[in-house]
Amino acid sequence: KFIQYGGPNGGDGGDGGSIYLRADADLNTLIDFRFKHQFRAKHGEHGKGSECTGKKGQNLYIKVPAGTLVFDEDTEECLGDLVKPGETLLIAKGGEHGLGNVHFKSSTNRAPRRITKGTPGEERKLRLELQILADVGLLGLPNAGKSSFIRAVSAARPKVADYPFTTLRPHLGVVSIEVDRSFVIADIPGLIEGAAEGVGLGIQFLKHLSRTRLLLHIVDVAPLDSEPVKDVLSIIQEVEKYSAELATRERWLVLNKVDLLPPDEQAQHCQAIIEELDW
């Protein structure tokens, strides 16, 4: 009103929202991404009259477990490694706003029809890999007793039963030693022969051991006709195939289910296994 030709008074648009990944201590798997694959931040609003600037698009924060590696699927570039809970990583920047016609008025062009369009936001195809952060990782064949072990020493409650089956996803448990002293232990799903080549999703499971400081190799020594030495060597072979560095990490041998052996044969049976492995 009272301005020649009624303007110009077109305001700027709003910036588009950006997308961030945020490490969350309450998550320990990437299973949610199996059901939702696409994420979009909000668009910025258009500029309005009376030199009103459009509202900025709201940023989108996507929760991932601590220990998530982020790769660009097209370039294979590692964009970041979210290790500590609360860490954020910008993965797609929102577009910048366009300019309204109020910027282009002059003494000779009192009512410009010129504007600039905003830039498009970034679009990326990502690959997420989870390497669980734990002090101790449990290693062994299916049904060796890893889940029973972590239930006994921590508050973690993976499924256990009196019939053969294997854990399907990793479980984390906190082992309290005394006040202000504790450590994290990871129950990794059982490995089978060929795991290093991906048999039984073995590579995904082996990745979770990459950031553990100590490996507990749990071996089922019962019944007497089992072959625990062969079982140990098969697992060691798979670890060596996957990573030479992981194979040299400190590893403790835990002989499990000894109580199922006759009492007078327990010590002799365990000692024979240790000597045969030259542990």
Over residues 128-156, the pLDDT tens digits come to: 887 766 788 888 887 778 888 888 888 77
Q: What is 48-102 written as a DSSP string?
A: BTTTBPPPPPPPEEEEEETTEEEEETTT--EEEEE-STT-EEEEEPPPPPPPPGG
83 burial (CB, 10 Å; 0-12 / 13-18 / 19+) is middle
Would you say 215 and 252 are in contact if contact means Cβ atoms under 8 Å apart? yes
- Compute the distance between CA of residue 199 and CA of residue 219 in angstroms, rounded to an integer: 20
In percent, how much of the chain has pLDDT > 90?
A: 7
pLDDT in tens, 16-42: 899 999 998 777 677 778 788 899 988
Give the neighbor-by-neighbor strand order of the sheet with 181-187. 171-178, 181-187, 136-139, 214-220, 251-256
As a whole number, the mean pLDDT across the chain is 79
- The side-by-side arrangement of strands in the sheet containing 126-130 is 78-82, 68-72, 126-130
pLDDT for residue 5: 61
Q: How confident is the model at residue 165 (pLDDT cuts 50, 70, 90)?
A: low
Domains delineated in the chain: 19-129 (2.70.210.12), 133-277 (3.40.50.300)
Spatial distance between the Cα atoms of 140 and 115, rounded to a whole number of angstroms: 65
Compare 196 and 56 and report the one with higher pLDDT. Answer: 56
pLDDT bucket at 13, cuts 50 / 70 / 90 = confident
- Predicted pLDDT of residue 166: 61
- Is the Cβ–Cβ distance between 142 and 166 less than 8 Å? yes
Spatial distance between the Cα atoms of 105 and 169, rounded to a whole number of angstroms: 63
The rounded percent of the chain whose pLDDT value lies above 70 is: 84
Give me the pLDDT at residue 195, please.
Answer: 46
Structure confidence at residue 15 as a pLDDT band (50, 70, 90):
confident
Confidence of residue 71 (pLDDT cuts 50, 70, 90): very high
DSSP category for residue 210: T
List the structure tokens of 272.
């024979």
pLDDT digits (tens, 9 = 90+) for 195-217: 445 444 445 667 777 778 888 88
Cα-Cα-Cα-Cα dihedral of 217, 221, 225, 229, to 10°?
Answer: 30
Q: What is the CA radius of gyration of the chain?
A: 29
What is the rounded average pLDDT of the residues 252-256? 90
